Structure formats: C-alpha cells, structure tokens
Structure 1
Amino acid sequence: MNHTITVATKSDVSSVIHLLKEVAGWLKENEINQWSFLLAGGEDNEIKQDIVEGNTYIVSTETEIIATFTLLPTQSEWDLHIWGDDNELDSLYLHRLAVKPSYMKNGLGANILHWIQENVKPRLTLLKLDCVADNHKLNSFYKNNGFTHIGTTLDGHSKYIKDI
C-alpha cells in the first residue's frame, strides 16, 4: 500500500476528528472499551490544539486520510495522570494512534510505529503510551511491536515504553 506520513494542518482538523470518531464507533460496535468519550466530542478541542501545535500526523493515500497519531514532546494533563510528574526529558508520548477500520489488519499500525522510531531518533530516546488494560488485542499489538509493559494504573490503563 502506498501512503505518506505528514504533519496535519489546520485544514485537516475535521478529517482527523471524523476519522477518530469513526474508529471510536468501530471500537464500540466491537465491544472494545476504548475511546467512547470521543464519540461525544470529548477531546475535539484538544485534538484541534494538537494539530495547530504541529503534534498530530496523518497517514494518507492519494485520495484519503487512513490513519492518524499524535506525538507530544511534553506531558499532557492525561500523561501527568498516567505517568505522574515524569522527569525523563527525553520521552515522547504517543496518543490517539488510529487506523481507519477498512485499513486495519494489514500492518499499517506497525508501519507507523516503525516510522516513529526511524524519524524521532535524533531528538528523543523513549516512546511512552497507555491503553485500556482490558483491550487485549491492543495490548498484544504493542507488546508484539517491541513495547515493554511497565504496569497498570489503578484506573485500569496499561503503561508501555520503548527505546527509540
């Protein structure tokens, strides 16, 4: 599959939000407890802000956006909740990695993680993320892509790290 990864622009805001809601709807339909708050617009302003600040990326074919992810070089409010006051200044936080359902199960997610590893090496050395602990497929996906599970929060979020 031919695709490109670029930094999202202001003109991509509605497309990124639409894609995230499409994935959240797919997760809900498949009874996967992840991102239900997105369906009600739970992070629309934060998503827009991350795009404006140049932290969100889109994965596109010639005709459509097929995936998105956000990389934060500093902790968000959510990261503080998950990781506490993280003193590792060389960390990058991965948020909202989403692949359009019709493109799932073809290695695109793994390709994105590889792209991140290859393209952020000069700046940072640790990639951190979290996901709902009872989302077994997603937890397996991160483990199978070289992430180390370092614990679970009291409110049920798995924490993962990977050297990049």
Structure 2
Amino acid sequence: MHEAIHTIRLAKREDLEKVIGLLVNTAGWLQTKGTKQWNYYLTDLEGNVDEIVTSIENKATYIVEKEGGAIATRTLESSPNEWDMDIWGEEAEDDVAYLHRLAVHRDFAGKRIGADLLDWAEIQMKTRGKKSIRFDCIASNEGLNRYYQERYRLREVIDIHGRHCKYEILLGENPV
C-alpha cells in the first residue's frame, strides 16, 4: 500500500517556477544516470520555458502537491504539438492524447506517484473519448524504458532527433 493521496490539480501560470523546479530536479538526476534526456532543462532552460507556459495555458499540465510543496507534474496534451508531429509523423492525430514531462521529485521517488499519474491519465483520457495516449523517451534512457516496458508495449524505436522509443497506451486494452 502506498502513501496517502496527494492533491492533484491543474497548474496555473503562477505555478511555472514549481513545474520548472520539478523538471530541473529530474533532469539533474537523469544526468547522474548517464542519460541526456531532458538535458535542455539544464543547458537551455530559457529556450524551453515557452512550451511549458503554453501547456499550462492549454490546461494540459497538472501539478501534484503534498503539504503545499510540489512533488510531481504531468502534461497531457489533447492534440499533437510540434514535437509529436515530428515523432509520430502522419500518425499524429487529434483523437489521441500526448503525454509529456512526467516528473516526480527525487525525494518522493519509489512511492508509485508516477504510476498513479499514468493510471489517472488513462482514466481521464478514456472519459474524454481519446483512443490512446502516446509518448516517447530517448532510447538511451534504459531505466525509463525498462519502467515503461513493465507496463506498456514498445511500439518502435525511431531515429528522429536522435534515437527515441515510442509508446502507445491503447485505451480499453490491458497493459502488457
């Protein structure tokens, strides 16, 4: 049994620094694991803030809080952004949701928060009539790919913006 429930709510513009803090925390940890996933949050944060702001304004970014502190974030876009169009190509569709920036502060890792956010995303998108949830991660991030493959089928590995693994959660089907 995991810890008691946390507050999950839509992120607001004033939460931008909290969301960025979570992403930078996760990026720093990823770097210690030898992966370049999310390095741009460490090397070019300024150049990547607009995308985060847009997701907040689109009401696609959620923040998880515990006792007033931000402990996790997740973005679930209702339509493909520029990145998704590149990764999914002609398959990019509006009846699919696109998962981005799932991050749990390292102080709260191992407490099923990420898994709960993925479960909640599935319920949320089924309710909204989406047929699936798509996401990707850098192929060299072995730990994250192993984590995803415990739950979901690896759809394919592509070489766009470097090697990326593509995943799709078909809503209504059971995980692997």
TM-score by shorter chain over 0.5: yes
Give the TM interval when normalised to the shorter protein: over 0.9
Divergent runs of 4+, >4 A: none
Unaligned runs of 5+ in 2: 172-176
Unaligned runs of 5+ in 1: none
The question of 1:128 aligning with 2:134 is answered yes
1:96 alignment partner in structure 2: 101
TM-score with structure 2 setting the length: 0.87
Q: Distance in 1 between matches of 2:58 and 2:155?
A: 29
1:27 alignment partner in structure 2: 30
Please provide the CA RMSD for this pair.
Answer: 1.3
Q: Distance in 1 between matches of 2:116 and 2:28?
A: 23
2:174 alignment partner in structure 1: none
Q: Distance in 2 between matches of 1:138 and 1:117?
A: 19
1:160 alignment partner in structure 2: 167
TM-score with structure 1 setting the length: 0.93
2:18 alignment partner in structure 1: 15
Equivalent positions of 1:6-85 (< 5 A) are 6-39=9-42, 40-41=44-45, 42-85=47-90
Q: Please tell me whether the aligned partners of residues 80 and 94 of structure 2 are also in contact (alpha carbons under 8 angstroms).
A: no
